[in-house]
A and B are shown apart, each in its own frame.
Chain A
Amino acid sequence: MPSFNRAFMPPKMPYQYPNTTPLSLTATATVASNSSAGVNSIALKNPMGQPMEILEVRFQLNTIGYPGSNLSTILGGMIYCKMDLGEHEITNGFVPTWCFGKWESPLEAFVAVTQLPAEQVYIYQTYIWKLPKPLYVPAGSVLIPTFQHTGLFQNTVEISVTYNCRSFPVGTPPPEKLSLPYVAAYTSKTFERSETETDESTETDLVNPFSVPLHIQRFVGRLQVFQSNVSVAQETPPTTTAAGSGRVADAPTSYENWQIKMVDMLGRPIVQDFTPFRMVFDAQSRSWEMDNGAVMDPNSYIIAYCRKAAGTGVIEGGPYFSQAFISVVGWRDLVGGDTK
């Protein structure tokens, strides 16, 4: 019979390695609109030829905005990433880069506007994913990222991916048990502002395809609001500015009119009733943090139901659309052999 005390004790680190060396590895890729690209994987390999652990993954997305305006664009929902460590999938296909970690601060998205010689808008976005458990990478192996530009934004995006790691000394034995992170995501269809719409995820979106439980680190919930020409893509609608500037907010298109319900594969409620989006994915972190022992059962999935009410009135610069992104981030334990 499971005991109460063990039920809520947080999981412990399986091992500790002394005498490690910090290591930061970075690779870049340039992705044109509606295409995909990889990185120079040599740059992400431990140059000392020793095993290492990855503690944190960072994505930096840089692009140039549309000239002649001070319009900003959020890229996290337009640039997707797929990660593999040898035969082990770290992501369920391509996952939006902003669906790995929680929202750290408003400085996640930074826009610099130069005025001379002509107005240029430089957009920088950084998304940080602190792994739920350090990821052991054997000597000679590489965690390979591949990026995809969905084509909703016509400009090319430069991507930097950085692994913050620690390198092990020569002769360090491999761990007996590995913890492999895993991210699965669902992207809803786009909803036009003036319409009442619903959507739901499929059995292959928020899925645990493994024969072991998936320990949940967090659910991430992001909302994107954009114009039809994607000259503006925001996450949270900005305050109204002067007419014609394009940065127009819309409360009915914003998160308040989005509602979410989630059930597991047996129909049992995870989010019990339709609930405002930001009550599920907390506004201050854009996520629902776990780290409390919550798991997804082996070979199971979660269905997310989205519902959006129609916006009212007329908005300058429309039509406007919105789209939801939900991911489950966690880890599975691998103890010798194949656990697939």
Chain B
Amino acid sequence: MMDHTENTLRAAQKALTDVVGPSLDPQDPLAAEQLRLVVEYLDFVRTRLDDINDRVRADLLQAITIGRRCHGKLVDAELTRGLGDALEEGEAVVSQIAAHPQSMKEAALAIHEALTALIRSLGTADPERSREVQRIIVIGYKPMLDFERAWFLPFGFDPEPANALTTGEALAGLVREYESERGESIAS
């Protein structure tokens, strides 16, 4: 049975705009403002519905790519044990064709938390390795930020929207980075 969520969201917008809106108290501008924001957000979700899984996957690909680079650079088993474990789990999840979004989110989160712990443990006590990790992360985050910029573009916050990639283009960039780091292809 085909998914009709997009159709239902459109109907919900119409109900709010055509029925609820005109019935609001004109002396209550806050209510009108809230209704407008709700309708706008439903419209945004409608345009992003088919890409939600891609977004979750993009985050995991990014996490694995950056995590691998940090892990490979530091070569300190004690320091990177938590990160190594999280990366192993992440790789197992991302290679599953039917990976559930929740599994992908949890795997990405585990890598993010391991990287957080790594940065904090290096702290100011090991400035050289701390800077190496900072640099890997700062440089490595661009593809994911490209994706997020594309994701939120309809909100109008981007000062250079003409320069933004599409979510498809940004995801392709993340896949390239991942494959380059891994040196092999993944199942799409």
Chains A and B are bound partners:
no
Q: Which residues of A contact B (CB under 8 A)?
A: none
Q: Which residues of B contact A (CB under 8 A)?
A: none
